[in-house]
Amino acid sequence: MCGIAGFFLRGGVAERATVKRMCDLIAHRGPDDEGFHVDNGCAIGMRRLSIIDLSTGHQPIANEDESVWIVFNGEIYEYRELRARLISQGHRFRTQSDTETILHLYEQEGPEAIRHLRGMFAFAIWDARKKQLLLSRDRFGKKAPLLRDLTRGYLLRQ
Domains of the chain: 3-157 (3.60.20.10)
Query: What pLDDT is stored for residue 30 in this prediction?
Result: 85
Nearest Cα neighbor of 97 from 33, 142, 151, 140 is: 33
148 has pLDDT over 60:
no
Q: Quick: pLDDT tens for 130-147.
A: 999 999 988 877 665 555
Count of alpha carbons within 13 Å of 17, Cβ hemisphere only?
0
Distances (CA, A) of 112 to 34, 103, 146: 28, 12, 22
Question: φ and ψ at 69, to 5 degrees?
Answer: -130, 150
82 — pLDDT class (breaks 50, 70, 90): very high
What's the pLDDT at 48? 84
Catalytically active residues, by annotation: 2
DSSP state, residue 94: S
Confirm if 14 and 22 have CB atoms less than 8 A apart: no
Query: Helix (H, G, I), strand (E, B), or coil: what is residue 24?
Result: helix
Output the pLDDT for position 49.
79
